[in-house]
Structure 1
Amino acid sequence: MDDLLRIEDELSEEQRLVRDTTSAFVTDKVLPHVGDWFEEGTFPARALAPELGGLGLLGMHLTEYGCAGLDAVSYGVACRELEAGDSGLRSFVSVQGSLAMFPIWKYGSQEQKEQWLPRMASGEAIGCFGLTEPDHGSDPGGMRTTAKRDPSGDWVLNGSKMWITNGSIADVAVVWAQTDDGIRGFVVPTDTKGFSAQEIHRKLSLRASVTAALYFDDMRLPGDAVLPGVRGLKGPLSCLSEARFGILWGAVGAARACLEAAVEYARTRVQFDRPIGSFQLTQQKLAWMYVAVGQAQLTALHLGRLKDAGAITPQQISFGKLANVRAALDTARQARTILGGNGITLEYPVIRHMTNLESVLTYEGTEEIHTLVLGEALTGLPAYR
């Protein structure tokens, strides 16, 4: 599809290489199978992780410890191409790099970094991020999971987490818990006694993704399992900002895939002896979808450049997540109307992206929460309670 706004011209040679390499991987290894994965409710994480690691896509925006150390725009471009394949694929990479590796890289001890980051960057070890709880999603400060020090100096964790991507296949979990010293993060090997994970089934969205509930039953950890570099909600919220940045780029990929499918269908589907793309109403839909995708891409590129300049704020990331996911979901829904009945089959990517985006709209900050973030930025008045 033509790049009318010539946005791709703004990418550097290295960023284009990331784009092309990631796109080729998705085309060869994901698109031929993802419809079946979605229908079956499976995701071959163990098979894909080493390949993703070999391409340098796991923790790619981090430095040292086997990480690629690429810039924010490169990370965003990779997320865009991954989510053009499926939101579940981009979620896997986002959770691994931004939610599991990033807190260890940013706040962990040298021992924690050396133990986990090289293995996670290569795809040998898979990570997950335990923040959301059954009764505390948008209000993580109310979490009930606790970590208590006992006389030996060990930590004892009790509680549960919900909607955890990679939870039942992870080798390590970064778990956030209430302590006497505020909220702290813990690096938890998942073979620790007292840890258990139960995969969540019967999902109608993000089916090509592993989602689980985590349980901690008097789970004992050594004193040095805590992340030493952060206390309070700053820790998990900073991780979420990293992941939301990937989402605001990834949503562009899902939207673009839906638009491309709709354009191709409109060119070839004949009704009333004409391709439906020759009708004005269809062209109007396609034009507005193209505008939405272009605007979302410009937003992502601008925010990527701000991030590379070290000037991005959480409020700006909320703007991008709010605007781009909504644009992608609207585009997917409109594309579905162009495909008609064929739009609800897995022969085309549209319904898969559409249902996935319903989850993307909610996770890592609901649309309502990001709306209130912007509302507070505009008025100076918080309205969360």
Structure 2
Amino acid sequence: MDSVRMWIILLILFRQWTSCAGADTHWTYTGSVGQTQWSEYFPHCGGTKQSPINVETSQAQHDPSLTPVRPLGYRQTGNQPFTLTNNGHTVEMSLPGWMGLGGLPWQFTAVQLHLHWGSSGGRGGGSEHTIDGHSSAAELHVVHFNSELYPNVSTAMKQKDGLAVLGVLIETSEDTNPGFENIISYLENIKHAGQKVPIPAFDVQSLLPLHLGRYFRYNGSLTTPPCYQSVLWTVFTERVTVSLAQLRKLETALFSSPVEESDSHLLQDNYRSPQPLNRRVVVASFPPDTTTVYTVGEICAMVIGAICGCIGLAVIIHFVIKTVRSTSSWDVLPSVRPTSLPRSKETEKEPKQDVVFKTTSNPEKEEAPPQPEP
């Protein structure tokens, strides 16, 4: 009996030790503790409800009870500045407690927002969520905790109904985004991990899409260790845009290492790959589109097919026309020859002259005229 108790105590101590060891592990997106090894150090990262995911629009189920997302207090800037932080994994901005979300089963209070991006100006992706296999240039996450049931985010993040996160996909355009410029213009002040800077408060709703009624929703997890499966995800279908210059600055302005480290690495490609859906249901706030959305390859194939069809039709028409003309030359024209016009008197005399001309053309054979008789 004592040995059984001893084994139980040792097992508890071992689990506590591994939990603490995982919490202290410096994880990265690549390398020895990269995302493919996260589950070895953070067991929840190997769960069956992980995020992000690839949303298959044709498989999403329409839920007519879903109402547009209602940001609460997002436009209230207040008198206190926001704090912008380089935590070595992303740029994070704290949010005041008066901000939250409405329209969900519980009251959720805002905590922070952060970004994920790539390294190639959006050409190679950078978002965490993908839609029908398409990756966007970057992605914004706005994190909230269930303040109706739990006292703080640290407690809530370990509960299955503890967090609600908004996912906003970002693409590039020619225009500068004023909302995101409130963040990007201060990145030079937090180049190294651990650095912070106060920034003027601004309208946080300017970072969201204009239309908040079209989105996908599913149950998932944090996309970084410890990967707790406690997030109710809302991923908007409408993208927001930033200029290419803004995206490039986001991709090249920060380092993942502290300032005291001589070997600095750019903070890039800080996005997790899509995880298996594992029979989870993704619901949509809107009915399926009746119009068919084609891929670039399908469009090219249809254009090429249409061109080939037109060329083939032109060849057939040319052949038919040529055949008709050929038939008209040999069969039709002889049967419609105009009747001969009556010859004039001058015309009738021409053959006689011709005959006379032919019979008298040889002077040797010409007969002598008869001599008159004496």
Q: Which one scores higher on RCO, CA 8 angstroms, separation ≥ 6?
A: 2
Higher-Rg member (1/2): 2
Name the TM-score class by shorter chain.
Answer: under 0.3
TM-score (norm 2): 0.25
Structure with the higher fraction of residues in strand conformation: 2
